[in-house]
A and B are shown apart, each in its own frame.
Chain A
Amino acid sequence: MKVCAEYEDQITAFTAHRAILDKGADPEDIELRSPYPLSEHPIPPHRSKPMIMRNVVRLMWLCGLLGGFSFLTFTQWEWGLTAKTGGQPLVAVPINAIPMYECGMITAIIVTTIMFFVETRRYRQLVPALEEDMPVANGYIALVVSGDSAKKAKEWLDGTNARSVVSFVLPLAITSFLMTGCATGNLRYQQVIKPGEAPADMPAPTSLRMPTAAEQEVKPLQPLGWLYYGDQLAFERAEADFKRQEAELEEKVKNKQMKRKDVNKQLRKMRRDLDEYKPEILLYKSGVPSEIRDAKNPVPYDEASKKRGAELYALNCAQCHGVTGKGEGAVGAKWGGPEVVPHLGDAAKYGDESRYPDGFFYHNIIVGKNLMPSFGYKLTSREVWDIVNHIRELQGK
Chain B
Amino acid sequence: MSHENLNFRAAECSIPEIFDAVFEPIGKSGWKSNIVLTICGLLILGAAIAFSGQLYYGIGQTGLHIPVYWGGYIITFVFWIGVAHAGALISALLRLCGAEWKSAVTRVAEVITLFTLPAAGSFPLIHLGRTELFYYMLPLPNNRLLWPNFKSMLMWDVFAVSTYLTGSVLFLYVTMVPDLGIARPRMKGWIKTLYTILSWGWRGTAEEWKRVMEAAALYSVIILPVVISVHTIVSWDFAMQVVPGWHSEVFGPLFFVGALYSGTAAVFTMLGLLLWTYPGFKKVITQVHYDMLGRVWLVLGLAWAYLFFNDFVPAYYAHEPDKMDYLYYNGFGPYAAACWFLVIGNFALPLFCLAFQEFRRSIMPMFVLSIIVNIAMYIERVFIVIPGLEIYNGLNFNTIPYTYSATEIAIIAGTFGWSIGGLTLFCRIFPILPYWELAETKARQVEVDMAGVKVAYFQSGE
A interface with B by C-beta (< 8 Å): 9-10, 31-41, 43, 46-49, 51, 53-54, 57, 61, 71-72, 75-76, 78-80, 91, 95-96, 98-99, 101-103, 105-106, 108-110, 112-113, 115-117, 119-120, 122-131, 133-134, 136-139, 184, 186, 207, 273, 276
Contacts and interface: CB of A to CB of B under 8 A. Distances in A.
B19 A139 contact: yes
A137 B182 contact: yes
Interface stretch (B126-134, B211-219, B314-322, B409-417): B211-219
A387 B160 CA distance: 74
A264 to B, nearest CB: 19
Contacts of A103: 159
Nearest to B189: A184
Interface in B44-98: none
A377 B162 CA distance: 55
A127 B201 contact: yes
Pick from A10, A33, A122, A207 the residue with the most CB of B within 10 Å. A33
B436 A119 contact: no
28 contacts: A9-B443, A33-B204, A34-B206, A36-B436, A37-B212, A48-B207, A51-B210, A54-B218, A75-B139, A98-B160, A98-B233, A99-B155, A99-B156, A102-B229, A105-B229, A110-B166, A112-B218, A113-B174, A123-B203, A123-B208, A124-B201, A125-B203, A128-B196, A129-B184, A129-B196, A138-B19, A207-B16, A273-B188
B453 interface: no
B185 A134 contact: yes
B151 interface: yes
A49 B207 contact: yes
Contacts of B159: 98-99, 102-103
Interface string B442-462: 111000000000000001111
B209 A37 contact: yes
A349 B156 CA distance: 91
B202 interface: yes
A184 to B, nearest CB: 8
Interface string B270-288: 0000000000000000000
A72 B149 CA distance: 11
Contacts of B202: 120, 124
Given A35-B435, A53-B218, A133-B204, 16 more contacts: A31-B206, A32-B205, A34-B206, A39-B459, A40-B459, A51-B214, A53-B215, A98-B160, A112-B174, A122-B207, A124-B202, A127-B201, A133-B203, A138-B186, A139-B19, A276-B188
Contacts of A39: 440, 443-444, 459-462
Contacts of A126: 201
A78 B143 CA distance: 12
B191 interface: no
A10 B174 CA distance: 24
- Per CB-CB distance, the 7 closest pairs between chain A and chain B, nearest first, are A124-B201, A36-B440, A75-B147, A139-B15, A36-B439, A129-B185, A102-B159
Contacts of A127: 196-197, 200-201
B145 interface: yes
Nearest to B146: A79
Contacts of A129: 184-185, 192, 196
B200 A124 contact: yes
B188 A124 contact: no
Contacts of B174: 112-113, 116
B204 A136 contact: yes
B124 interface: no
Contact of A133 (B16, B185, B214): B185
Interface of B: 14-16, 18-19, 139, 145, 147, 150-151, 155-156, 159-160, 162-163, 166-167, 170-171, 173-174, 181-186, 188, 192, 196-197, 200-215, 218-219, 222-223, 225-226, 229, 233, 435-437, 439-440, 442-444, 459-462
Contact of A105 (B156, B225, B444, B462): B225
A47 B205 CA distance: 9
Contact of B182 (A35, A96, A119, A184): A35
Contacts of B206: 31-34, 38, 43, 46, 48
Interface residues of B, dominant DSSP = helix
Nearest to B17: A139
Nearest to A81: B145
Contacts, number: 203
Nearest to A114: B170
A10 B462 CA distance: 14
Contact of A112 (B192, B207, B215, B461): B215
A139 B11 CA distance: 15
A17 to B, nearest CB: 10
Contacts of A113: 170, 173-174, 215
Given A98-B233, A120-B207, A137 B184 contact: yes
A10 B163 contact: no
Contacts of A61: 222
Contact of A98 (B156, B181, B183, B442): B156
Pick from A54, A130, A136 the residue with the most CB of B within 10 Å. A136
Contacts of A276: 188
Contacts of B205: 31-33, 47, 123
A386 B440 CA distance: 46
Contacts of B207: 46-49, 120, 122-123
A122 B214 CA distance: 17
A75 B148 CA distance: 9
A39 B159 CA distance: 39
Contact of B204 (A35, A48, A106, A128): A35
Nearest to A71: B139
Contacts of B167: 105-106, 109
Nearest to B153: A98
Pick from B155, B186, B218, B229 the residue with the most CB of A within 10 Å. B218
Given A78-B145, A113-B174, A38 B209 contact: yes
Given A91-B150, A127-B196, A105 B163 contact: yes
Contacts of B437: 36
Nearest to B149: A91
A41 B462 contact: yes
A102 B185 contact: no
B282 to A, nearest CB: 19
A155 B82 CA distance: 59
Contacts of B151: 91, 95
Contacts of A102: 159-160, 162-163, 226, 229
B145 A33 contact: no
Contacts of A138: 16, 19, 186
A93 to B, nearest CB: 11
B222 A112 contact: yes
Contact of B222 (A75, A105, A133, A137): A105
Contacts of A105: 163, 167, 222, 225-226, 229
Contacts of B462: 37-39, 41
Contacts of B209: 34, 36-38
Nearest to B233: A98
B163 A109 contact: yes
A207 B14 CA distance: 12
A298 to B, nearest CB: 35
Nearest to B461: A39
Contacts of B436: 35-37
Contacts of A116: 174, 211-212, 215
